[in-house]
Structure 1
């Protein structure tokens, strides 16, 4: 497991790979259940289109927690998500590769976007800690647009290319399963663990 940057890509938002096996060459469809498999514990359980367990989050027992771990099906830590500080004026979270330890550098930072003056659908901006800042270009590497409470939002890179989309889960066209079960579609070349890590952050920034 390692973080990898593809330097030959022309995109400003370079693609993060938490694990090579989690970045497919085709569109990946996942079902996200906003519930842990562990009894009386909040979290997430994520399945692929064949019903196989892909990711799990079951290490927090309240709506808000300072540290959350995204694991694979076997329980190995892929990402550790940590709140920057309760004292910070901005709602920010940092993502670390694997298990967190003191002195470890973050992989990315997510900042909630709030604007009292200008209406915006942008929920959050993502800053990759390895990215070089370019003059005259957007400072963020990814952004999230849409409505988290409705489980309807899109993750885009800095070139406005769609990375992943979340939509409510429907069993039939007229039946929606509710906010605790939703579809996650990840486009080719983007790491599913990174995308799922962003969803975990959004769930903490905008609990519902």
Structure 2
């Protein structure tokens, strides 16, 4: 049975089979930090640039292997966030002539009272997705977590090889039909939250 395609940002990045991609963090001294995503043949599929490159805290850009912008990610700030129990991130698909369309938002616990709650992601209602909400289970800080659909199904899994001791190199398994741009948008935010290479 063929996998159903679930584009959230881009149908072009929904594979009909499972995909395993490697993530390698870039040091801040090289290209301002961020990370690079490669396939099994070491071809660059995505690049994520953090505030070391952009010069703005709480802003990330996901690009394709050619350097074209795919997703702009911003943390919502201000007094409302300071008083809220959640910090909110928003992912915008970048269209022609710089147009931005909100495609997902992620709520990060902002208080010790909700620290053990899972991180939740919601899809904008206008998007054609079978699921409207997702959550992170596990510990991204240990590079050991899953992105789950609303029915409890795993859509992507982050892990490290047992022989590796560095968290700067890990892999992500993306299930068939799942939008890889969306997955790496979420991973870019997790990297920032957990003081990764995207953060200044």
**Structure 2 unaligned runs (5+)?**
none
Q: How does 1:67-106 map to 2 (within 5 A)?
A: 67-87=59-79, 88=81, 89=84, 90-98=86-94, 104-106=100-102
Matched, 1:198 2:186: yes
**Structure 1 unaligned runs (5+)?**
1-8, 133-138
| Aligned 8 A contact 2:8 2:103 in 1 | no
Q: TM-score, normalised by structure 2?
A: 0.79
Q: TM-score, normalised by structure 1?
A: 0.77
Q: Are the structure 2 counterparts of residues 131 and 143 from structure 1 closer, same or farther at C-alpha, using a change threshold of 3 Å?
A: farther
Looking at structure 2, the residues matched to 103 and 40 of structure 1 have their Cα atoms a distance apart, in angstroms, of: 26
Matched, 1:182 2:170: yes
Deviations 1:35-74 (A, max 9, x none): 2698251101000011110000235218982221100011
C-alpha RMSD of matched pairs (Å): 3.1
| Aligned 8 A contact 1:44 1:56 in 2 | yes
Q: Are the structure 2 counterparts of residues 103 and 179 from structure 1 closer, same or farther at C-alpha, using a change threshold of 3 Å?
A: same
SS at match of 2:34: strand
Q: Which runs of 4+ in 1 moved over 6 A?
A: 99-103
Q: Which residue matches 1:128? A: 123
Looking at structure 1, the residues matched to 115 and 76 of structure 2 have their Cα atoms a distance apart, in angstroms, of: 26
Deviations 1:75-126 (A, max 9, x none): 111100011114313211000002699984411110014675678462x100
Q: Give the alignment partner of residue 147 of structure 1, picking from 139, 150, 169.
A: 139
| Aligned 8 A contact 2:87 2:107 in 1 | yes
Q: Which residue matches 2:21? A: 30
Looking at structure 2, the residues matched to 68 and 118 of structure 1 have their Cα atoms a distance apart, in angstroms, of: 25
